[in-house]
Amino acid sequence: EFAARRGVVYTRATAPETWTLPSHASLFTGLYGPSHGANASWRWLDEHHLTLAEQLSARGYRTFAFSANPYLSPVSNLLQGFDTVRYSWRGDEAERCARATHAKLLPDDRSVEIAPGWTPPTDHEGEGWPEHLTAYKDAGPVIGASFLEWVDEREGAPFFAYLNFLEAHHPRIPSAEARAAVSDPATIARGLATDASLFRIMAAMEGKGSFTPEELAAIAATYDATLWDLDRATAAILDGLEARGLLDDTIVVITSDHGENLGERGMFDHRWDLHQTLVHVPLVIRYPRGVPAGRAAEPVSTGHLYGTLLALAGVPAPDLGYPLPELGASKVVFSELEAPTPRLPEIRAAFPDLKGDRWQVRFQAIFERPWKLLRASDGRSELYDLDADPAERVDLALDRGEIAGSLREALIRWDRERPRYDPSLRSASDRPGNPLRVDPSLRDQLRQLGYTEETP
């Protein structure tokens, strides 16, 4: 409904990477991963990068960020350049966010680690999983209210705001109203009873246990319900801007840093490969003064929002020593997974027979409609016609060898010619924070999201 009111929907939007840190670094700098350097082995955005917030702040914009994700915090420097930063787990909003999250908890929910009825696994050795984790993640209404309060205090100055919601991220606890809006009672009951904790879904990915089709449908329905909650929270923000007479003068972007596996190909979570479940993301832009309404079907990258937003705001493109593409400027876009993240330590402790290098494969992908070529560091290549096969069920790499070869050459050329990250440009203060020592509340938030080995 919002997009139809003079907005544009990009139906082929692609995330630069499949997890928070590198994807956000691309969003805020316009660079792909091996150019900005923020990845699993260096969990930090170096200070020499000029972020979108810094560019706009230098031109008189007030800047605001609200993060429900512990990766968007001082441990990563992703929010460099924002004047006002608020967090769901710390400061004045923490209690409000905790109340908003816990208000969604249902007594008979046994599905995830923060649910009242969930019990930790007992069939493995090693460090035990905590009984329950304190959650501050489902903070949508609080984020919106905090942002609108800040808008009212800005004294008429132009503003740039980034609002990070985490309702759709594991562990998912949609409201009862949301569950009822998207699902039937039997599926709701099955979703509450299905253990979809990190330990179980990671074990299933390793071939240790499985889910029935009915359980997978219930997991998907729970995910859909979180989107319903997000829709309501987003609508409140847009209505608030409209009531203040600001909406039509505000560039609004709705997008995501990555997708999610919900059992496709036996996979869950994210950070594992570059299939569409992980890199195909929503992207809506509304700005009646400068964006024609409609639907755009050509491939675009959310990494190109950097140049697009500067152009829409009338800010001259900075000379950063590399091209600053805008959405739609190129018919070819790319995505990659440069450095996969490790599995949960609990999984290694429970199943010591697992191969240690399974998740160390790197991936790159090139998109040129209708084609997508996926290339892995172990030599595999896959080719898909996304117009005819959006679910990537039929690999055409052998049948359409000429097309696969041409795209492979283009991917290699792009990788060879783009700017490379230079560690020598790091300053003395460029050092990833260790959440295990820096902030106990931040450590807890990372753990509940599955980032249990985030120790740079």
Q: What is the pLDDT along the chain (456 residues), one digit of tens a residue?
A: 888 878 999 999 999 999 999 999 999 999 999 999 998 888 899 999 999 999 999 999 999 999 999 889 988 999 999 999 999 988 888 899 989 998 999 999 999 988 999 987 765 444 444 444 566 778 899 999 999 999 999 888 999 999 999 999 999 999 999 999 999 999 999 999 999 998 899 899 988 999 999 999 999 999 999 999 999 999 999 999 999 999 999 999 999 999 999 999 999 988 888 999 999 999 999 999 888 889 999 999 999 999 999 999 999 888 887 778 899 888 999 999 987 666 677 787 888 888 767 778 899 999 999 999 999 999 999 999 999 999 999 999 999 999 999 999 999 999 999 899 999 999 988 888 655 455 666 666 666 666 655 433
Distance CA 126, CA 18 (A): 29
Instruction: Return the beta strands (E) in 12-88 as ranges.
Output: 13-14, 62-67, 84-87
H/E element, 239: helix 213-243
- 201 CB-contact burial (10 Å; exposed 0-12 / middle 13-18 / buried 19+): buried
**Helix 94-102 to helix 140-153 angle, to the nearest 10 degrees?**
150
User: Tokens 């990477």 label which residue?
Assistant: 17
Q: How far is CA 228 from the centre of its chain?
A: 17
With contact defined as beta carbons under 8 Å apart, do 194 and 211 qualify? yes
The pLDDT value given to residue 453: 52
DSSP character for 67? E
- Total Cβ atoms within 10 A of residue 315: 15
**Two structure tokens written together for 135:** 């959650």
Q: What is the model's pLDDT at position 450?
A: 64
The two tokens of residue 180 are 């009822």
Distance CA 13, CA 399 (A): 27
Rounded to two decimals, the pTM is 0.93
**What is residue 432's predicted lDDT score, i.e. its pLDDT?**
80
| CB distance 29 to 22 below 8 Å | no
Give the position of tokens 């995830």.
112
Sign of CA dihedral 443, 447, 451, 456: positive
CA–CA dist 155, 152 (Å, integer):
7
Q: Which run of H or E residues covers position 271?
A: none
HSE, side-chain direction, 13 A CA sphere, residue 322 = 19
User: What's the pLDDT score for residue 337?
Assistant: 92
Sign of CA dihedral 55, 58, 62, 67: positive
DSSP alpha helices (H): ranges in 59-197? 94-102, 140-153, 176-182, 185-193
